[in-house]
């Protein structure tokens, strides 16, 4: 039931912009809770990579005195990976096309993360 609600939030998020290619809610230990991913994309890999990057981002923010981690942004030649906390025990990971307007994406992701946090 909760997975269905999370999936509906992700489906709505993906529908806000044609530049969002995929999204998932992942526990901080790397388990996929819900996802809207394209065919052929490995949920387990997305979950594990998200948890690893979030952990590294947390440590980096602490070690470099940057305060509490809010988000991790990775830019590659084929687009972006954006990770943000969705409550204390989950992360919202979003895959975005390379020419996306990130300001709008950040706003939509922030709203979706707040919705997810309320559900969890």
In angstroms, the CA 49 to CA 65 distance is 24
**Residue 1 pLDDT > 80:** no
pTM > 0.85: yes or no: yes
Domain, as residue range, for 59: 2-119
Q: How far apart are CA 102 and CA 118, in angstroms?
A: 24
Return the sign of the alpha-carbon dihedral for residues 2, 89, 17, 81: negative
User: What 3-state DSSP class applies to 23?
Assistant: strand
Residue 75: CATH number of its domain: 3.30.450.30
Domains held by the chain: number: 1
Please tell me the distance from the alpha carbon of residue 96 to that of residue 108, in angstroms, as a whole number: 12
Count CB atoms within 10 A of the CB of residue 104: 12
List pLDDT tens digits, range 27-86. 988 899 999 998 889 999 999 999 899 889 999 999 999 999 989 999 999 999 999 999
- Where does the pLDDT of residue 9 fall: very low under 50, low under 70, confident under 90, or very high at 90 and above? very high
Query: How high is the pLDDT of residue 20?
Result: 94
Whether residue 9 contacts residue 35, with contact meaning beta carbons closer than 8 Å, is answered with no
Q: What is the mean pLDDT of the chain?
A: 92
Burial of 39: CB neighbours in 10 Å, binned 0-12, 13-18, 19+: exposed
């Amino acid at each position: 039931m909760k997975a269905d609600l999370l999936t509906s939030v992700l489906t709505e998020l993906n529908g806000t912009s044609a530049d969002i290619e995929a999204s998932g809610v992942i526990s901080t230990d790397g388990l996929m809770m819900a996802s809207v991913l394209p065919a052929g994309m490995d949920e387990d890999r997305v979950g594990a990579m998200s948890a690893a990057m979030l952990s590294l981002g947390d440590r980096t923010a602490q070690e470099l005195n940057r305060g509490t981690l809010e988000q991790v942004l990775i830019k590659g030649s084929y687009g972006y990976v954006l990770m943000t906390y969705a409550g204390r025990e989950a992360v919202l990971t979003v895959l975005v096309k390379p020419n996306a307007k990130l300001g709008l994406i950040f706003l939509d992701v922030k709203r979706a993360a707040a919705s997810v946090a309320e559900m969890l």
